[in-house]
Structure 1
């Protein structure tokens, strides 16, 4: 038996008292400081803050605390990451800045040197960094994954996620008499990284984009969203993937290809789970299978959205992009798995657990762009671990997290017309179209009140089939194009009851909404608009409570954090070129007036 002497007992008691005091100080510090440590705030990606300092009663007293001008003008989509009083930002073209989160003072900046021979597919925008293990991780427009020292910004490692560029479609594929053959091209099939990485159990996880992007033609109207998007028949692109890399050295741990080695034709689904028809010619597709035996090699399926992760089951959830060629299905019969799908993987190995394909054999550009979100779902009197996703088609989907079973599909949160109708030679107007619905904008979930807040888009799109017969020894040309109509377009901010699937309230905005939302336990939610408005709403009723004005479009997801007992709201303001919103270089931060 060990018996402690009186002196030892005194030392032990002193240590216990010191430990208690340290814990009390730590608790007090935690109460005064709340970070925004990752893209979706945590692995659930709910983007919901428990902070109540800013609330319905005082939100009208918000004033600008500081503004940061980066000097890099371009579509600005970043989610600011705040850890230990430092804000980390990805800028357009993959530059990175670290700021004092209280004052906006720049602490360091990394200037990205792009590969000179690399063609960007999708513009200069980046949706954020990940910060973990003393490093800042960023995926780049030239398909690199880079780790920076979080204290200094010095590069620690830099790897090529994809080493070789891929074949890209060009206007030379079009007939010289085609009006699109002489217009400015703003993007096309290529490889880059748009998503913010996520770090989990020593692995940084990121996916590639642009592999099924299509040929983007500039719109002659400056303030119009997008121009024509053309799906040219040909052997362009490659399969997309999501992969995990060791945080210490960048060595690849696993890779999941979004196009399977075999079976990408699927089961030739003719309807959705709830009976909506896809208007497919299944007999013709099956007959075409033998003509295109290697079509999966060019299958597309970009990984646009930062994954959500269930830490209890080590399951990772992410959405995939459209098949390639975009909107043109001659050379890709079948369902084109796993494109336009919500996918669940083992986060440790990258092995597939399940997938749910929202739109088999997609012809409209309905990629799953909005990030998935995890929440406990009140379903038939039981609590079910669920995963939700806001779609380009205009519905919010709720699935059983373990099996992928569809539990609920909300009522449409945007107008729907001619959904799943094919392009015609005369042109057919469809909405939602290639823009959505809900585009890449993250949602916010209030789990306690079982509500999801969605930024939506009403933008009618005309889908036209172009066919040129063979002539002068040249083969026939056939492609599908999507382009905006002259119809009115607007945004719709919606609160959806998760249990019933009904839209509780909805606000119409002057322009389509893109950028994302933030909700808090203070009963307020925040989102921005393309005209520079940054708004706070009563999350119960949708009433506009406060509004600020920026010089540039506010088209990025807001975040909130607390330092020294003061709550801040931050958002990037740099517009969006695809939607025609004024571009800039600002980060705006607000707090309550003293």
Structure 2
């Protein structure tokens, strides 16, 4: 069977003329897919830009989509542009698709999947496929998968229904009642497009099945049940009927393909509900797993679970890197999986067995009724964690006596027993936290040295569970404004601040909201979530008028009684005809502090720096080559101290020119580092936040570096910027 797969994979490589099949000798197709190649290496063989000349890089062109609907706030653009034969394909912050001349940034064509509507939503890029003259761009917008002619920008009418296929079909729920919205592009294997998806993170969410579509027709070809059904591997790690109602365990960060072996490698997120699992007692395979599947059929091959019965939203947020290690003089193909907890899991590609020792250690039990936290968790012994995983009072920030005393008092009020302390009603200190370790940007792998580069964040947060009932009684004497103020304090303040001023671009200012959005748009955002903002539809019912009164400064609004069931949960469960009624009898808890920062009263980080680092890890030995802080808050940097480092979800790329490029830090800079030493070689201040992983490509003998930027006040729709060496520099690649 393995021999057959190798032959098939080799044939596919020939058919695709090198697009995504191992090392590509076509220098104008060196970044023709998300994260550079099917191995998700974020590596480029280009070397025209190198250590000695990178300091002369300058802007080559800027593209402004100018597609933001008037009055809407600016958005993040997480798209990693791809380039095929001189044409760049990318999406904007408003989720429109663009084809640009890669040497000038001039528009060739554009496609609006929303037909003039507001649109938006997270998009990390697109997928390219070709067969002779048939060249297609596959991408998602909303809950639709589109096939667009790469040469004309028109829908391919033979695909799906007039060019699009519903991503709601092929899951568990009623396609007309659910809505799943992928955020990362799919990956190609032959004529198949293999897709993950993003689903609700609340009770009753859809399961995150992995699905493969026929690229020519849009027909669903296979699916893998990430929440197993009876008779399937992993079924016994759940309650017997969990497949009827449990959700999540989805791939939202992308995946990797080994064409020679005919294998696709999938990184999965946590089961839902993220922070309380009384209805999913067990290890919960395949939640938080790296899973290897037969790319042609979806057949299970192996898995490795990084978190058992996740209670912390510790998704595997990035695609696995396909790497090759040296062991005892032999080459060993492997999978390297980054994580939010800061562990790097290095697994044999054929078997899934760890290539460095992994130890199961006892972890704390839950205090919440009905919750059974798994008694042990896996701890890789090598490489060492690239994010801090423990903290003491000595690590708390000291901006002033008053600030420190306040942080100390708050810290001591929470439950904290290390990395896997379960959520609690008194509050749990989570570290690294759901924004810790590394996010969807993942790692960049240099095949010449066996070194993996990964950006890491130290961003603790607080988890605080609150039991919620099916119905809620309201105080008839309280004004709507007062109730809305309380709702905001409970659920919104930690991100948008007590003054509603937020922290752009992740947490927008809500001041003057009435000038930007109407009430229906506001409620839709609160119900559905957007970007880093989770859905609050499970706590919103009955409070709609109240939160609107507070956000729109309607202080004279009056109260009325309303008792409504938690809306999104009910909608999720209504969409599943087979949902288990008995699950409704279990208690329900929500994390009312989800995704909030641990900060002092002035919004400053509550722990000492560094808050963000760039790490170089030798995968052959498991040792670190170097580790440096990256990004800076100048106002918080102490005299004579190193830079502070900042958070950031985007990932690095590495080139044969000896350079690691990175952006995504809060100081709005694009950096170039020496891959061997970590020395900063060059930096550029960007006009807006660089919220995506960069790309690099060659066109007409010139190497370019491209980056997507978030929107700002000047350009709410964001930018695409390209950099290059001055004319006459660089020479041949």
TM-score bracket relative to the smaller structure: 0.7 to 0.9
Question: Which residue among 580, 590, 601 is the counterpart of 1:479?
Answer: 590
The number of residues matched between the two structures is 495
Q: Is the 8 A contact 2:615 2:626 kept in 1?
A: yes
Question: Which residue among 257, 263, 269 is the counterpart of 1:309?
Answer: 257
Per residue, is there more helix in 1 or in 2? Answer: 2
Partner-residue secondary structure (3-state), 2:279: coil
Q: In the alignment, what sits opposite 2:219?
A: 251
Q: In the alignment, what sits opposite 2:477?
A: none
Q: CA deviation at 1:426?
A: 2.1
Q: CA deviation at 1:471?
A: 9.2
- Match runs of 1:465-476 below 5 Å: 465-467=465-467
* Runs of 5+ unmatched residues, structure 1: 1-28, 169-188, 215-233, 269-285, 577-581
Say if 2:372 is the partner of 1:237. Answer: no
Partner-residue secondary structure (3-state), 2:245: helix
Per the normalisation by structure 2, the TM-score is 0.64
- Match runs of 1:163-562 below 5 Å: 163=169, 191-211=180-200, 213-214=201-202, 234=203, 236-262=204-230, 289=239, 293-294=241-242, 297-408=245-356, 409-417=382-390, 418-467=418-467, 478-481=589-592, 482=594, 483-486=596-599, 487-488=606-607, 490-508=611-629, 509-510=631-632, 511-528=646-663, 529-562=665-698
Q: Is the 8 A contact 1:264 1:335 kept in 2?
A: no
Per residue, is there more strand in 1 or in 2? Answer: 1
Flag the 1:190–1:416 CA change in 2: closer, same or farther, 3 A.
Answer: farther
Q: Is the 8 A contact 1:527 1:557 kept in 2?
A: yes
After superposition, give the CA deviation of every residue in 1:89-116 in whole Å (9 maximum; x if it has no partner): 0223431000000000000000012799
After superposition, give the CA deviation of every residue in 1:117-176 in whole Å (9 maximum; x if it has no partner): x9x9xx7110111111234334434221110011110011111121499999xxxxxxxx
Flag the 1:203–1:165 CA change in 2: closer, same or farther, 3 A.
Answer: closer
Q: Is the 8 A contact 2:127 2:139 kept in 1?
A: no
Q: In the alignment, what sits opposite 2:721?
A: 588
Distance in structure 1 (CA, Å) of the matches to 2:123 and 2:35: 15
After superposition, give the CA deviation of every residue in 1:359-397 in whole Å (9 maximum; x if it has no partner): 010000011111111121112432111111111110111
Distance in structure 1 (CA, Å) of the matches to 2:709 and 2:52: 26
Flag the 1:91–1:415 CA change in 2: closer, same or farther, 3 A.
Answer: same
Q: In the alignment, what sits opposite 1:220?
A: none
Q: In the alignment, what sits opposite 1:127?
A: 124
Q: Is the 8 A contact 2:76 2:710 kept in 1?
A: yes
Q: In the alignment, what sits opposite 1:161?
A: 167
Q: CA deviation at 1:572?
A: 0.6
Partner-residue secondary structure (3-state), 1:140: strand
Flag the 1:554–1:468 CA change in 2: closer, same or farther, 3 A.
Answer: closer
Distance in structure 1 (CA, Å) of the matches to 2:190 and 2:234: 34
Partner-residue secondary structure (3-state), 1:384: strand
Per the normalisation by structure 1, the TM-score is 0.78
Partner-residue secondary structure (3-state), 1:484: coil
Flag the 1:317–1:472 CA change in 2: closer, same or farther, 3 A.
Answer: closer
- Match runs of 1:82-101 below 5 Å: 82-101=83-102
Distance in structure 1 (CA, Å) of the matches to 2:330 and 2:126: 37
Flag the 1:341–1:114 CA change in 2: closer, same or farther, 3 A.
Answer: farther
Partner-residue secondary structure (3-state), 1:316: strand
Partner-residue secondary structure (3-state), 2:612: strand
Partner-residue secondary structure (3-state), 1:331: helix
- Stretch deviating more after TM superposition (303-312 or 74-83): 303-312
Flag the 1:32–1:255 CA change in 2: closer, same or farther, 3 A.
Answer: closer
Q: In the alignment, what sits opposite 1:48?
A: 43
